[in-house]
Amino acid sequence: MKIVCEKEKLLKGINSVINGVSSKTTMPVLEGILIETNDNEIKLTTYDLEIGIEYIIECNVEKQGNTVVNAIMFSEIIRKLPDTEIKITLNENNLLEIECEGSLYKLATMNPDEFPELPKINIDNSIEIEQNLLKNMIRKTIFAVSNEENRPIFTGCLFEIKDNKLNVVAVDGYRLALKTNLLNSKSKDFHAVIPGKTLNEINKIILDSFDTIKVGISKNQALFEMENCKIVTRLLDGEFLNYNNAIPSQWETRIRVNKNNLQNCFERIILISASTIEKEKRYPVKISIEIGKVTISCTNQTGDAKEEIYVSTEGKNLESGFNPRYFLDALKVIEDEEVFIEFGTNISPCIIRPIDGEEYAYMILPIRMKD
């Protein structure tokens, strides 16, 4: 195998596949990148038995071949080489020679025949969506995915196609994030739960462009396909939350507020509420709603904080406690100038909604305040 490739192209491919490398495995070959040539292309593949990533790069292939090289070592060497052409050769001793200007490195390789094949997927349902739309939908929901492995179904996002809309939903037991987008082409209704880890990697790879990405779903696998990249992932098993029933449809108190003003209040007050480890959980902020005004306050061993903001209010006065981080996470991804925030009782969840339409909804559960 002998190839010549621009560093920029090679590094982009490596960065796209590197997080498919297994970090905990008894199979050393899974710690590597499979490099395969095909005419004037090379294909880079990584696979940790849960997520597999393939990336194709156009380059000058002088001699066909394939090999597996340690991903971390290979990527670090390429990253630190000069920004010019890099020559990569598999020599007769199965060492991978990497040459660039005055630099020469030789890396041990592994048998490519031992690298497991990515699953072959028989697609049952699929959609095509612009990459920038999917990127936006993931960004606006992924923060609410659970990190608790004892409820694995909530470590992923629900992808639901219903009435020709894509709904992406994340929930961690304390909050819920829902983002909706109308599809341009007709599609059958279906749903699947895709691991959050996979979606994080997809979000790094896809572009903020109008180019499309195809999402294909089989019984237990999902396939994301772009022009030069393919990502295969397992689906999560289990019953996802019936989010439509979980989100309250009625409110007793509602405020209309400037999003940036409210976000700034929470960013300041969290300096007190989260001033030491885990204080955010032990010391929630209190939200008090009166006619035309919201007061956000926090008292703990560090000190006191109070923020007042003038808003449009409807319904009853209310006092309730919340984790300020959950509000901040939602407000940071909302681009609207103003939002509605709806409350039930002081022990009911609150809902952040757009002023017009049903493009998103964020639900946050309250925390009981200590007297």
Of 150, 336, 352, 171, residue with least CA distance to 251: 352
pLDDT above 50: residue 280: no
Tokens 């041990």 -> residue: 108
Q: Where do we find the tokens 């681009």?
A: 335
Q: Closest Cα to residue 163, out of 187, 144, 147, 139?
A: 187
pLDDT of residue 134: 97
**Once rounded to an integer, what is the mean pLDDT over residues 272-288?**
69
Among 333, 287, 318, 324, CA closest to 177: 333
Residue type (1 letter), 20: G
pLDDT higher than threshold 70 for residue 276: no
Strand pairing class (312-315; 125-130): unpaired
Please work out, in degrees rounded to the nearest 5, the angle formed at the alpha carbon of residue 135 by the alpha carbons of 160 and 80. Answer: 140
| 110/286 Cα distance (integer angstroms) | 58
Which amino acid is present at 45? T
* Residue 170, both tokens: 């994340």
**Cβ–Cβ < 8 Å for 80, 74:** no
Whose CA is closest to 6, among 67, 57, 65, 70? 57
Neighbours of 259 (CB within 10 A): 18
What's the mean pLDDT in 172-199?
A: 94
Query: SS in 3 state form for 79-141?
Result: HHCCCCEEEEEECCCCEEEEEECCEEEEEEEECHHHCCCCCCCCCCEEEEEEHHHHHHHHHCC
Helix axes 7-17, 71-80, angle to 10 degrees: 150
Decide: residue 237, CB within 10 A, 0-12 exposed, 13-18 middle, 19+ buried: exposed
* Amino acid at site 223: L
Give percent above pLDDT 90 in the chain.
Answer: 86
Cβ contact 211:227 at 8 Å: yes
The answer on pLDDT for 133 being more than 60 is: yes
Give first-to-last CA distance, the chain, whole Å.
Answer: 72
Distance CA 263, CA 44 (A): 42
- Residue whose C-alpha is closest to residue 54's, from 63, 46, 42: 46
Which residue ranges form the domains of the chain, and what is each CATH number?
A: 2-114 (3.10.150.10), 125-241 (3.10.150.10), 247-364 (3.10.150.10)
Q: What is the mean pLDDT of residues 321-333?
A: 95
Question: For the segment 54-101, what is each residue's pLDDT rounded down to a tens digit?
Answer: 999 999 999 999 999 999 999 999 999 999 999 999 999 999 999 999
Phi, psi of 181 (to 5 degrees): -145, 135
Residue 159, token pair as written in the block: 């992808």
CA distances from 341 to 309, 314, 371 (A): 14, 11, 25
Sorting pLDDT into bands at 50, 70 and 90, what band is 279? very low
* Coil, strand or helix at 145: coil
Helix then strand then coil, % of the chain, to nearest 5: 25, 45, 35
Q: How many CB atoms lie within 10 A of CB 227?
A: 8
* 10-46 tens-digit pLDDT: 999 999 999 899 888 789 999 999 999 999 999 999 9
Cβ atoms of residues 115 and 34 within 8 Å:
yes
Q: How far apart are CA 314 and CA 321, in angstroms?
A: 19
Q: Hey, is 323 helix, strand or coil?
A: coil
Task: Report pLDDT for 371.
Answer: 60
